[in-house]
Amino acid sequence: MSEPDPGLRVRWAALGAAFLAVGTVSAVLLRWWQSNGGDLPQIPLLLAALLAIVGAVVLVLGLRVRRWVSRGEHVDPIGATRTLVLGQTAALAGAVLAGYLTASLGLASMQLELPEPRQVALASGVGLLAAVAMAVAGMVTQWCCRVPPEDEDGDDRYPDGTHRPAR
């Protein structure tokens, strides 16, 4: 079995690019919205809780796959692939949300003397931390789902020395 295409991995640079692109576009659009008399959109604190829960679930699933692989247990390839894609999606979604929340936090922090922007800044800051945590959890999950290299000597054993069943 050959090594998977490394182009299918989500890289930190891609997350940074998504963060910067969405953050820049969001800042420009939110600033335009404010200049035309609009208020900053409210950010619910529930967003941070949901992002933290999603990040925790993604991380648990990734660590479970890693544990199975390191023990040499049979891993369902479809399930491991789904976990990998979930981790990559969480990483990209976390980066995109972090970009938006950074723009929102930056614009709200210019008006902290008013109660409404203060609430937006607080919710954006907490949400930003949760979005970054979700992105990191996604990247850790992607790392956990790496395929171990094939055994070159043709030995059909698990890492603990037991024989693999015939296919």
What pLDDT does 1 receive? 37
9 close to 142: Cβ distance less than 8 angstroms: yes
Outline where the chain has alpha helix (H): 12-35, 45-71, 77-108, 115-144
User: 165 pLDDT exceeds 60?
Assistant: no
21-26-27-28 Cα dihedral, nearest 10 degrees: 90
Is 93 domain-assigned?
A: yes
Of 4-18, 60-74, 99-113, 127-141, the one with minimum mean pLDDT is 4-18
| Residue 63 domain flag | yes
Q: Is residue 35 part of a domain?
A: no
The predicted pLDDT at position 167 comes to 46
The pLDDT value recorded for residue 41 is 92
Name residue 92's amino acid: L
Instruction: Note whether residue 9 is domain-resident.
Output: no
Residue 48 lies in a domain: yes
* pLDDT, averaged across the chain: 87
Q: Is pLDDT at 162 greater than 90 in this prediction?
A: no
Does 103 fall in a domain?
Answer: yes
Residue range of the domain that includes 85:
42-144
Yes or no: say if 58 and 134 are a contact pair by the CB < 8 Å rule. Answer: yes
Is 30 contained in some domain?
no
In a domain, 56, yes or no: yes
Confidence of residue 6 (pLDDT cuts 50, 70, 90): low
CA distance 83 to 3: 18
DSSP-derived secondary structure letter, 109: G
Check residue 77 and give its pLDDT.
87
> What is the percent of the chain with per-residue pLDDT over 90, rounded to a whole number?
66
Which of the given ranges, 7-11, 18-22, 156-160, has the highest pLDDT on average? 18-22
The number of CA neighbours under 13 Å toward the Cβ of 80 is: 18
pLDDT for res 146 = 83
Q: Do 78 and 98 form a contact (C-beta atoms < 8 A)?
A: no
**Domain total for the chain?**
1
Q: What confidence tens digit (pLDDT) does each residue in 83-129 have?
A: 999 999 999 999 999 999 999 999 999 988 888 889 999 999 999 99
Closest CA to 83 of 57, 105, 46: 57
Is the pLDDT confidence value at 2 over 60?
Answer: no
- Radius of gyration, CA atoms only, the chain: 21
Higher pLDDT, 66 or 167: 66
pLDDT(42) > 90: yes
